[in-house]
Structure 1
Amino acid sequence: MRKISIVGAGPGALDLITQRALNRIEEAEVLVWTDSLIPPRLLELSQNNCERIPSGSLTLEEILRILIKKAKSGKKVVRLHDGDPCLFGALTEQINLIKQAEIDVEVIPGISAYQATAAALQAELTIPGITQTIILSRASGRTGTPEREKLEKLACLRSSLCLYLSARHVEEVEETLLKYYPHDTPVAIGYRVSWEDEWLTVVPLKQMAAKSKEKGLIRTTIYIISPAFNTKDKRSKLYDKSHNHLFRLN
């Protein structure tokens, strides 16, 4: 059966990929990888004779032509995405074109940067009584966002807001967020989280842009703006001895 596997490589660390992703990488005969966003050491998980094709300088159409040609030749083909391919990964376009070529496709999820960042900080992003909502979005930039999803409308919820692909617009982002979040709201800034050269810090919202500019951040950066970072000793009712639920009826 001709099939292309679109695989989430996770945030970068070798041991932060799923077992299913590892299996596909190890089985791959052709691996097309996003070299600008995935550490080269991840390629070491593939076979020595695997054909490894970097895609950083290719257009989407060029990438798809390679994937389809290799799959039609009978090769086991893997398209390796950074993080999770379901987030900002042009996944829909790829699947549509692959299916038009009458080739099966599977999608294997990966751990995303927001999860790796929260874990590295040992932080929960959903604290009872503080926020129970996580928003994953981005600054508008050249791609733009729907009017109903403008940053102003997301920020007014004052929930845990995770922004990808936004470092180039950080000054504008900070200005907008300060209209809704208190100026001392903690902001986690993560650069290449889980890579060997990871840089991660937490600053007040009012220092978000300045710290980003100081570090020269323009890509591979995530921002998590969250009132949840400010909480201590806040307990969930789920584990309170007075709270009954399906598995604790008495």
Structure 2
Amino acid sequence: MKTYPIAFVGAGPGDPELITVKGQKALQQADLVVYAGSLVPEALLQWTRPACEIRNSAGMHLDEFLADMAEAYRAGKRVVRLHTGDPSLYGAIAEQIAALRHRNIPFYVIPGVTAAFAAAAAMGLEYTLPEVSQTLILTRMAGRTPVPEAEALASLARHRASMAVYLSVGMIESVAAVLEQTYGPDAPAAVVYRVSQPEERIFNTTVGGLAALVKQEDIRKTALIIVGDALAQTSAGISPKSRLYDKGFTHEYRRGED
């Protein structure tokens, strides 16, 4: 009997059209989809066939949905494990992959659009502006899930790079207090709620105004916190120009004009 590798698919930030073509095809061919229902909108399931079996893993533990996936694999079914955003970022796929390897079940991963990039698109934001910031940090605040001491938010914030803070809006007062120490209370910041989804809301503020904003808008989850000077450049409508398109800059494909 023919069997098919299990596909880990990044669903993207929520808009069904922001899934990759390859991810969409995997869903269209699937016999079983196990999706992270606490984060992946059901709208993504529109790409599945009527005969496809769909299971929400939100109320299941690891062994439960792994057993379902393994059983379907051995029965010759095409299985998709559907994750929010990109599976490699806070997707908890490492433990699932380890379990599949232990069972000698093949797999592959299809990347997806993560919320930080969907937020930048919605805001018309470039994180890596010349002479402003050439680094983007994707991180989270330590909570019930700890982070390595060297990667504590306070340590990373000292770089004052563009930063997108995931999974931390529920601890906004602590996040804001840490960011104030390095970026300062007047540094530009934004909170992006359910980006790319019908409920999307974008709030521009300052680091000092983050806590009050989140409390006022009653935002408790599924929101991204963005901070950095690139935000100020975007909102002001100005930015340093790159050398790439400078008419006086010579590179492999073009000789600069005098």
Interval of TM-score (by shorter of Structure 1 and Structure 2): over 0.9
Separation of aligned partners in 2, 1:154 and 1:244: 35
Q: What are the within-5 Å matches in structure 2 for residues 129-148 of structure 1?
A: 129-148=131-150
| Larger deviation, residues 166-175 vs 64-73 | 64-73
Q: Which residue of 1 aligns with 2:44?
A: 42
Residue 59 of structure 2: SS of its match in structure 1?
coil
Sequence identity percentage: 38
In the alignment, is the contact (CA less than 8 A) between 2:31 and 2:52 conserved in 1?
A: yes
1:105 paired with 2:111, answer no
Q: Which residue of 2 aligns with 1:216?
A: 218
Separation of aligned partners in 2, 1:9 and 1:128: 31
Separation of aligned partners in 2, 1:2 and 1:12: 27
Separation of aligned partners in 2, 1:43 and 1:108: 16
- The one-letter code of the counterpart of 2:150 is R
Q: Deviations over 1:146-186 (max 9, x none)?
A: 01101111000000111110011110010011000032222
Q: Deviations over 1:122-150 (max 9, x none)?
A: 01001111100000000000111101101
In structure 1, list runs of 5 or more residues that go unmatched: none
Q: Which residue of 2 aligns with 1:7?
A: 9
Q: What are the within-5 Å matches in structure 2 for residues 202-241 of structure 1?
A: 202-231=204-233, 232-241=238-247
Q: Which residue of 1 aligns with 2:85?
A: 83
Q: Aligned match of 1:121 in 114, 118, 123?
A: 123
Q: Which residue of 2 aligns with 1:18?
A: 20
Separation of aligned partners in 2, 1:177 and 1:187: 10
In the alignment, is the contact (CA less than 8 A) between 1:14 and 1:42 conserved in 2?
A: yes
Residue 171 of structure 1: SS of its match in structure 2?
helix
- The one-letter code of the counterpart of 1:243 is F
Q: Which residue of 1 aligns with 2:31?
A: 29
Q: Aligned match of 2:191 in 159, 180, 189?
A: 189
In the alignment, is the contact (CA less than 8 A) between 1:2 and 1:71 conserved in 2?
A: yes
- The one-letter code of the counterpart of 2:240 is K
1:158 paired with 2:160, answer yes
- The one-letter code of the counterpart of 1:236 is S
Q: Which residue of 1 aligns with 2:96?
A: 94
In the alignment, is the contact (CA less than 8 A) between 1:84 and 1:109 conserved in 2?
A: yes
How many pairs were matched up? 250
In the alignment, is the contact (CA less than 8 A) between 1:170 and 1:209 conserved in 2?
A: yes
Q: Which residue of 1 aligns with 2:202?
A: 200
Q: Output the TM-score relative to the length of structure 1.
A: 0.97
Q: Which residue of 2 aligns with 1:67?
A: 69
Q: Which residue of 2 aligns with 1:179?
A: 181
Separation of aligned partners in 2, 1:203 and 1:152: 20
Separation of aligned partners in 2, 1:50 and 1:115: 30
Separation of aligned partners in 2, 1:88 and 1:119: 21
- Distance change in 2, residues 1:233/1:2 (3 Å): closer
In the alignment, is the contact (CA less than 8 A) between 1:84 and 1:111 conserved in 2?
A: yes
* Superposed displacement of residue 233, structure 1: 3.6
Separation of aligned partners in 2, 1:139 and 1:36: 20
| Larger deviation, residues 153-162 vs 211-220 | 211-220
Residue 244 of structure 2: SS of its match in structure 1?
helix
Separation of aligned partners in 2, 1:23 and 1:2: 14
In structure 2, list runs of 5 or more residues that go unmatched: none
Separation of aligned partners in 1, 2:253 and 2:97: 41
Q: Which residue of 1 aligns with 2:252?
A: 246
In the alignment, is the contact (CA less than 8 A) between 2:165 and 2:224 conserved in 1?
A: yes
* Superposed displacement of residue 241, structure 1: 1.0
